[in-house]
Structure 1
Amino acid sequence: MMALLLTAALTLSLSVLLSLSSAKQASALCVASGFSGTWRSSDDRLSRIDVWHGEDCRLYARAWSTCEHDATRDCRWGNKELQATESRNFRFFSYNWSNANEVLQLRLKDKTHMSVWDHTDYNSGKKVSFTVLMVKSR
């Protein structure tokens, strides 16, 4: 009986240890993405993007433009956090505004450079697209 209890305890300990080590490895892979960080550009329309991993290991982002009333500051695009689609070297994020739908495609060029394609479909039928080159600031 004692041998059976000892075997069960060792099996449980090993199982917990393997689970914790797997979770740490998954977390390390999650954080290893080159997209994470703060990205900046000189384009007032899309001056900054913050990208981070959520607890679910998915990428989230928040976009910023140069403030209309103070060109020395960045203003956040509302309180929305964008959730990324899955891909190796690019991610799509989207905003649904009251008058338009906007999609950002982030494409890594290297560890410190990224290009962002911004496409907006307005409810009026107007479409606007532009590309911004961004540099990782942290």
Structure 2
Amino acid sequence: MTQVSAARIPLRRLMAVLLTAALTLSLSVVLTVATTNEAAASCSANRFNGTWRSSDARLKRIDVWQGEDCHLYARAWSVCENDSSRICSWGNRRMGDSPEPNFQFVGYNWSNANEVLHLRMKDRSHISVWDSTDYHNGKKVSFTVTMSKSR
């Protein structure tokens, strides 16, 4: 008889164990969500984020944003080859990682050339972009554009 009664778990004890498990699980979920939100907030503070514009037709605009993976991404724009009244996107590219906080680069591979944009922060509202293009036929072209951040 002692063995049978010892094997029984009183209802109050069972409820306490279940309640403790439920509270532990809900606290775990709250901590995970809070940590995820803090991580997302910390990666959105990059000074390069935003839209940068210039008056140079070769590089009219660069959009820079933080991806979910906390890497910077860019989309460059220039005056369209066949319609100078519009600007055309070069497409999205992940920016290269740089050890310097005020320098980033993004590379584009075209059918006839490789192009790299080197972005350097001048101040909060201006960047200097050095564009270097190596054509497959051996020709090299480079130029620098100053861009202002759009408000």
Q: State the TM-score, normalizing by the size of structure 1.
A: 0.88
Deviations 1:58-116, CA, capped at 9 Å, x for gaps = 21111111234544432222xx2110122322221110101111111112222211111
Q: Percent identity between the aligned chains?
A: 65
1:94 partnered with 2:99: no
Q: Which runs of 5+ in 1 are unaligned?
A: none
Q: Does the alignment pair 1:9 with 2:22? A: yes
Aligned letter for 1:99? N
Task: Report the more deviating stretch, 61-70 or 104-113.
Answer: 61-70
Instruction: Output aligned runs, 1:1-138, within 5 Å.
Output: 1-77=14-90, 80-87=91-98, 88-138=101-151
Aligned residues: CA RMSD: 1.6
Q: Which amino acid aligns with 1:93?
A: V
Q: Which runs of 5+ in 2 are unaligned?
A: 1-13
Instruction: Give the TM-score, by structure 2 length.
Output: 0.81
User: Cα distance, 1:28 vs. partner?
Assistant: 1.2
| Residues paired across the two proteins, number | 136
Q: Which amino acid aligns with 1:127?
A: K
SS of the residue 2:123 aligns to: coil
More RCO (CA 8 Å, sep 6+): 1
